[in-house]
Amino acid sequence: MDSVYREVNKLNVAVRLCGIEEKFIINNIYPLYLHDLSEVWEHKTNRYGVFEQDDTRTLNEQNRVFDIWWEHPGVLFPYLITVDDIPAGLAFVATKPFTPCPHYIDYYMNEFFLLRYYRGKGVGEEAVRQIIEMMPGQWEVQTNPTERNARAARFWRRTLTTCTNGKYSEELGHNPDVGEMLVFRFSTSSVIAHLTFEA
């Protein structure tokens, strides 16, 4: 479950668990992710220019906030997405007890982000496909339901339609941390059947 590689449109897309020795790469990408999210959630920086609500003063301090992703192996999964061996994005997958999901959900896509250069090229869809192939079970994905986030909603609908042959559910739900969310659920059993059929 550590790494998968596949070529997409002449781009070599790979997804691998990011070890603690490579955490600095995630640290470099994460502020860009928060900057993108600020437009969706209408968040401002704090008085030090950091996208945190508390008095976090530096990005180095902020990086320690998500050290937890490397403290629970086999429960929390910090993935690095690369294209041609260059960092292209990240995906954080959580399992119980670190999810806001119903008890029957095995995996929760806590964070998913692609750098803008790689969007619209099939990289995101391929990264999602690789991750859910590596982690069979019941999945949940949540995203902001507002028009400000329409691009992400379209991405998840298109990607899940392709990866699950349309066998996913979509509804409005509530996340206790952020409020109303657009919730997608699916099982990788339908994904595996679809991928086998295509092969």
Q: Summarize the confidence of residues 140-152 as an average pLDDT.
A: 91
Nearest to 77 by CA among 163, 152, 159, 16: 16
Instruction: Write out the DSSP string of the chain.
Output: --EEEEEETTEEEEEEE--GGGHHHHHHHHHHHHHHHHHHHT----TTS-S-SS---SHHHHHHHTGGGGTSTTTEEEEEEEETTEEEEEEEEE-TTS--S-TT--EEEEEEEE-GGGTTTTHHHHHHHHHHHHS-SEEEEEE--SGGGHHHHHHHHHHHHHHHTT-EEEEEEEETTTEEEEEEEEEHHHHHHHHHHH-
- Quote the pLDDT of residue 7: 62
pLDDT band at 38 (very low <50, low <70, confident <90, very high): low
- Quote the pLDDT of residue 199: 32
**Which is more confident, 67 or 194?**
67
Give yes or no for a contact between 164 and 194, defined as CB atoms under 8 angstroms apart. yes
Please name every residue paired with 166 in a beta bridge, in sequence order, or none if there are none. none
Give yes or no for a contact between 170 and 145, defined as CB atoms under 8 angstroms apart. no
Please name every residue paired with 8 in a beta bridge, in sequence order, or none if there are none. 11
Residue 93 corresponds to which tokens in the numbers above? 């997958």
Please name every residue paired with 78 in a beta bridge, in sequence order, or none if there are none. 92
CA angle 21, 25, 30 (to 5 degrees): 130
- Quote the pLDDT of residue 28: 92
Question: Is the pLDDT score of 29 beyond 90?
Answer: yes
pLDDT band at 179 (very low <50, low <70, confident <90, very high): confident
Question: Is the pLDDT score of 2 beyond 50?
Answer: yes
- Quote the pLDDT of residue 88: 98
Residues contacting residue 191 through CB under 8 Å, at least 6 positions apart? 129, 132, 133, 163, 164
pLDDT digits (tens, 9 = 90+) for 14-28: 999 999 999 999 999
Would residue 67 be called left, alpha or beta, if left means φ above 0 and alpha means ψ between -120 and 50 degrees? Answer: alpha
Report pTM: 0.85
Token look-up 């059929």 returns 197
Query: What mean pLDDT is reported for the chain?
Result: 86
pLDDT digits (tens, 9 = 90+) for 116-137: 999 999 999 999 999 999 999 9
Identity of the amino acid at 20: I
Question: Is the pLDDT score of 194 beyond 60?
Answer: no
